[in-house]
Amino acid sequence: MTTTDDPKDVIDGLRALGLRLSRETLEQLLADAEKHGLAPSAVCAALVAAERKERERRNLAARTKSATLGSFTTLDRFDWDHPRSIDRALYHQLLSLDFLRAGQNVLFRGQSGVGKTTLAQNLGLKALQQGYSVRFCTLAAALADLLKQESLPALERRLKRYTAPHLLICDELGYLPCDSRSADLLYNIVSRRHEQRSIVVTTNLAFKQWGSVFPGAACVVALVDRFAQHCHVIDIDADSWRQKKSLRKPKR
């Protein structure tokens, strides 16, 4: 066995072993170790800590990209005084993610523009930060994605996009009507995730009105039953944020 003290060869060897740290970071770590006369065990500990941090960074970046949360207002900028009624205490309880660990669901309900999507996205962000996988989509986009699959095997593969993540966020249920096949697909997702993985839904409809979204679909009662069985509901009574901002704009 041959050894070398050439830092370049050491760095090449470390990267060949699979370390994700950049060459520049490794060079800096070795230079600091030499400068401070660190013991071999201390050098190894520093490498392990830096590599773990880099892997966590890359993992978060990959999960964030896959989550497709998009841009949104973070909680530190959310105006809790705007809604006339909202269960703020329940929402902060949800941020503990106990519901996610228990495979429970969350429903945000209220008219358009009251902050349902923003609060759902912030739950998704919290889950990502805690190491969970997340998928955010509008219900219409998810169903269109599934309906265009041309074979059963292709559909099964694509369904995993919505059944595999720890947290699935379905935005805007009730804004567009859907046919019976769409209802069956949503029921399939809810059923596969039932009591195993959490779903967050935003809607402007009460549970008893979900049938109006899927007229004629036989599975709606079963769909609602499974989703609502272990579900935290946050009703938001407020005027539209967007209308409020629009009224504030100076007229030209």
Whether 151 is covered by a domain: the verdict is yes
Residues 22 and 101 in one domain: no
Residues 46 and 80 in one domain: no
Q: What is the pTM of this model?
A: 0.83
Q: CA-CA distance, 141 to 145, in Å (whole number)?
A: 6
Whether 11 is covered by a domain: the verdict is yes
CB 106 within 8 A of CB 99: yes
Whether 20 is covered by a domain: the verdict is yes
Residues 22 and 84 in one domain: no
Closest residue by Cα to residue 114 from 86, 94, 138: 86
Residues 19 and 140 in one domain: no
Task: Compute the Cα dihedral for 228, 234, 238, 242 and give only its sign.
Answer: negative
Q: Which domain holds residue 44?
A: 7-67
Res 158: pLDDT: 98
CB 200 within 8 A of CB 123: yes
Res 246: pLDDT: 55
Q: CA-CA distance, 138 to 43, in Å (whole number)?
A: 48
Tokens describing residue 21 = 């740290």
Total structural domains within the chain: 2
Residues 43 and 167 in one domain: no
Residues 240 and 195 in one domain: yes
Question: Looking at 28, 49, 67, which one is the last position of a domain?
Answer: 67
> If 0-12 CB within 10 Å is exposed, 13-18 middle and 19+ buried, where does residue 11 land?
buried
Residues 81 and 175 in one domain: yes
Residues 63 and 179 in one domain: no
pLDDT in tens, 203-219: 999 999 999 999 989 99
Res 245: pLDDT: 60
Res 17: pLDDT: 76
Residues 181 and 95 in one domain: yes
pLDDT in tens, 123-153: 999 999 999 999 999 999 999 999 999 999 9
Q: CA-CA distance, 95 to 186, in Å (whole number)?
A: 26
Whether 192 is covered by a domain: the verdict is yes
Residues 47 and 142 in one domain: no
Residues 141 and 158 in one domain: yes
Whether 251 is covered by a domain: the verdict is no
Whether 252 is covered by a domain: the verdict is no
Please determine, for residue 162, whether its predicted confidence score (pLDDT) is greater than 70: yes
> Which domain CATH number covers 202?
3.40.50.300
CB-based contacts of 32-41 (< 8 A; 24+ apart in sequence): none
pLDDT in tens, 172-209: 999 888 999 999 999 999 999 999 999 999 999 999 99
How are strands ordered across the β-sheet holding 231-235?
134-138, 167-173, 198-203, 105-109, 231-235
CA-to-CA separations, 199 to 95, 130, 196, 220, in angstroms, rounded: 14, 17, 10, 16
Question: Looking at 51, 67, 83, which one is the last position of a domain?
Answer: 67
Q: What is the DSSP letter of 70?
A: -
Residues 189 and 128 in one domain: yes
Alpha helices in the chain (DSSP H): 7-16, 23-36, 40-67, 88-94, 98-101, 116-129, 139-147, 152-163, 180-193, 220-229, 241-248
